[in-house]
Amino acid sequence: MLDGSAPPSSHVLPDLVCFSHLRWDFVYQRVQHLIGRAAQQYRVTFWEEPFYTDEPGHRIETRLSPEGVTVVQPFMPWCADAAVIQREMLDGLIRARDIVDPVLWYYTPMALAFSDHLVGRPVVYDCMDELSAFAGANADLPGRERELMRRAALVFTGGVSLFEAKRAQHPAVFAFPSGVDLAHFMPARSGLAEPADQVAIGSPRIGFFGVLDERLDRDLLAAAAALRPDWQFILIGPLSKLDPEELPSGANLHYLPPKDYEELPAYIAHWDVAMLPFALNEATRFISPTKTPEYLAAGCPVVSTPVADVARNWGNSDCVTIAGDAASFMAAADALRALPPGWSSGMDARLAEMSWDGIWSRMAALIDTARGSTEVQLAVIDRKPEPPTLPV
């Protein structure tokens, strides 16, 4: 459709197409919280990064998540031109699903390589991280991001530091630090049954859940564990871009495999203190960890290295301590463990203001305004590819 006209649609909800560098079934975080809520108002198509295989052809697989999101997984040969093949598959998917006049929502600017022929109403860039600062980042990322910023009607950022870095680059940048699902984490305060793979670990316990990658301060973690062998350090999550032997080891360091989002409260319920042992490097310069309010909602006080957004947002709190070295980190853990019972109730009003429902509601209002004032519609370059066979 090159003339900008939109054909009648066979479905009721408007469309939203999301392009993400994170897989839907990886770690349940900002992406799933927001896009899952979007599915209550939009027919959501979630396009993941491709899987490369030894198969000679290319294909896509789709499935419906419990939140109502249609998750799309492209598969292609290692030797394939990823942009060309994905563009072909995307065009076929748009026709097969009768996607009309969609919101185009980007988490990765690299998706422009195969989607820059689409026009969204509006284009939204949810900049949750400074991806160009991560290990192994594509050298084209900064240029692609500039292009995406030119196309976007709205830019959301995952924290205040990112907002400050991006606000001069676009006229409509809005800070939306990550929120918390209070109802999900608060049951941890009342003592959930202990998971089997944590029962045998002694106490006191200091814990972390999240991706274990270059953001982890492995030197601090090793030093803290060696300094305080009486404390048990529990880290839950997938290993990414690190080899297992790069993680510090010791009798009081325990690495548990990734857990489903539903399982996390039961683990936190049996920790004394939660930790954010992030290194201070380019990859953590702009992060605003979702974990901080989640730990607090679960009734677990937090010790963190001096990550800018954690220090800015939580540094004046009695239940969050900022510490830059192993000795002060563990001194903070001792003090936080001694907090009086009921300390968490003082945080509840603030945490309630950070609900994901509220964040999505404010985002949705901005999208509705932009959608109403934008005249552009979906356009697809008409190369007439064969539409893929999709499951119903």
pLDDT beyond 60 at 330: yes
Contacting residues for 54 by C-beta, under 8 A, at least 6 apart: 77, 78
Q: For position 76, what pLDDT does the model report?
A: 92
Q: Are 279 and 252 in contact, with CB atoms under 8 Å apart?
A: no
Q: How confident is the model at residue 55 (pLDDT cuts 50, 70, 90)?
A: confident
Whether 256 and 198 have beta carbons less than 8 Å apart is answered as yes
Q: Which of 89-93, 231-235, 344-348, 364-368 has the lowest mean pLDDT?
A: 344-348
| Dist CA 101 CA 376 (whole Å) | 8
Contact 134, 107 (CB under 8 A): no
Predicted pLDDT of residue 135: 67
290: its two tokens? 């979702």
The whole-angstrom distance between residue 168's C-alpha and the CA centroid of its chain comes to 24
pLDDT of residue 255: 98
The amino acid at residue 301 is: P
- The torsion angles phi and psi of 212, rounded to 5 degrees, stand at -95, 105
DSSP 8-class letter at 73: E
For residues 192 and 331, what is the distance between their CA atoms, to the nearest angstrom?
A: 28
Distance CA 137, CA 92 (A): 29
State how far the Cα of 49 lies from the Cα of 72, in Å rounded to an integer: 9
Once rounded to an integer, what is the mean pLDDT over residues 287-298? 93
Of the candidate ranges 118-132, 177-191, 346-360, the one whose mean pLDDT is the lowest: 118-132
Q: Around Cβ 47, how many Cβ atoms within 10 Å?
A: 23
Which domains can be identified in the chain, with CATH numbers? 15-179+356-373 (3.40.50.2000), 182-350 (3.40.50.2000)
- d(Cα 123, Cα 267) in Å, to the nearest integer? 39
Whether the per-residue pLDDT at 347 is higher than 60: the answer is: yes
Helices (H), the chain: 30-38, 82-96, 112-115, 141-151, 160-166, 182-185, 218-227, 264-268, 291-297, 308-314, 326-337, 348-352, 356-373
Q: Give the predicted TM-score (pTM) of the model.
A: 0.88
Sequential DSSP letters for 75-99:
EEETTS-HHHHHHHHHHHHHHHTT-
User: Which pLDDT tens digit goes with each residue over 244-269?
Assistant: 999 999 999 999 999 999 999 999 99
Q: Which two tokens stand for residue 334?
A: 């001792």
Residue 305 to residue 208: CA distance in whole angstroms: 13
Mean pLDDT of 97-123: 95
Instruction: List phi, psi (to 5°) of 259.
Output: -120, 150
CA dist 58 and 44 (Å) reads: 23
Please count the other Cβ atoms lying within 10 Å of the Cβ belonging to residue 86: 23
